């Protein structure tokens, strides 16, 4: 039985549909990435999965419980780490974990807190006030609070925003350790390197799920062609952007990255440019970032449609 198996999840706020018939499955021990632009419906979907929001449409199960009627049972078995640090900053690390243990009415509470402190490397800082911690240590404390009741499913909503690369690397090492022990993880992120550390990814844009699979499957399925030019003059960028078949142009230092969905048309345009300027283009590897930018360009913004219908601006 899948840990998460939902079909057609839909959520509306007023006249606006923020999640539009999203379906996904997640198996035990998987780390599944959830990606998409801001306002795309990632957080709303996560909250429906963990039982905090009731779907307006769709069906399915989470941990064997019905998402429509058994949200209380789901919440007891899920750990949910929000974007914003939500523990008490005027309590110490140890006091925060003790408070969480009391909420869940955990037996042998003191032993469990001590074990969690040790597991997450927090023992030496256990008496430090949470409000004085750096972003990386706050992140580690938040994760400790989420897993202390030994959930079967961990939901992480952009958990590494604002932390340094070393802290992000250590956080992901811990996530993989937990998954190896059988914990299932759904994590939303904007970082491409984090997406590539997931077993599978789902891309949602303005409420609609556009792609799912392994990173290689999603990149291959996008059908993009990429060319690279080295030592490209900066003044050529604007010109290349207007060529037939060119969808993206991105400078990386002195290297130019050119992407298009119509490979033959793109190749012909760049060949003509090479004949004229002498600048050589070589086939390159399409990145996950290229794919996501392409998805964003193709997607319809449901907020724009809503604003047009109401005669207003952004909300």
Euclidean distance between CA atoms 155 and 187, whole angstroms: 6
Report domain extents, the chain: 4-218, 225-285
pLDDT of residue 265: 97
CATH architecture for the domain at 225-285: 2-Layer Sandwich (3.30)
CB-CB contact of 266 with 258 (8 Å): yes
Say how many Å lie between the first and final Cα of the chain, rounded: 40
Residues 27 and 98: their CA atoms lie apart, in Å, by 31
- Which residues of the chain are modeled with pLDDT < 50? 302-303, 305-315
pLDDT score for 38: 85
Nearest to 232 by CA among 258, 211, 206, 210: 258
At 104 the pLDDT is 87
**CA neighbours within 13 Å on the CB side: how many for 108?**
7
pLDDT of residue 304: 55
- The pLDDT value given to residue 219: 95
Structure tokens at 166: 């070393």
Q: What is the CATH number of domain 4-218?
A: 3.40.50.300
Locate 204 and state its tokens.
């949602």
């Amino acid at each position: 039985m899948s840990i998460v198996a939902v079909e057609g999840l839909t959520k509306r706020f007023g006249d606006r549909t923020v999640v539009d018939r999203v379906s996904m499955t997640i198996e035990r021990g998987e780390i599944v990435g959830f990606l998409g632009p801001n306002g795309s419906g990632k957080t709303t979907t996560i909250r429906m999965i963990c039982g905090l929001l009731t779907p307006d449409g769709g069906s399915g199960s989470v941990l064997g419980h019905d998402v429509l009627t058994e949200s209380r049972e789901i919440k007891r078995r899920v750990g949910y780490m929000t974007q914003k640090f939500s523990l008490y900053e005027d309590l110490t690390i140890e006091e925060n974990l003790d408070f969480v243990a009391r909420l869940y009415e955990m037996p042998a509470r003191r032993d469990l807190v001590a074990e969690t402190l040790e597991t997450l490397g927090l023992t030496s800082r256990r008496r430090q006030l949470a409000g004085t911690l750096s972003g990386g240590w706050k992140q580690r404390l938040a994760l400790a609070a989420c897993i202390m009741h030994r959930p079967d499913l961990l939901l992480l909503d952009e958990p590494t925003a604002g932390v340094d690369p070393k802290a992000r690397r250590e956080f992901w090492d811990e996530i993989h350790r937990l998954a190896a022990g059988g914990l299932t993880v759904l994590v939303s992120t904007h970082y491409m390197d984090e997406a590539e550390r997931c077993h599978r990814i789902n891309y949602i844009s303005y409420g609609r799920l556009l792609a799912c699979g392994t990173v290689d499957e999603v990149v291959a399925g996008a059908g993009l062609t990429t060319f690279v030019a080295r030592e490209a003059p900066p003044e050529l960028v604007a010109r290349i952007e207007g060529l037939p078949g060119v969808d993206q142009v991105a400078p990386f230092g002195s290297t130019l990255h050119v992407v298009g969905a119509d490979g033959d048309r793109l190749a012909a345009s760049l060949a003509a440019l090479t004949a004229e300027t002498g600048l050589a283009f070589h086939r390159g590897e399409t990145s996950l970032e290229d794919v996501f930018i392409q998805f964003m360009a193709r997607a319809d913004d449901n907020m724009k449609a809503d604003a047009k219908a109401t005669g207003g601006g952004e909300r």
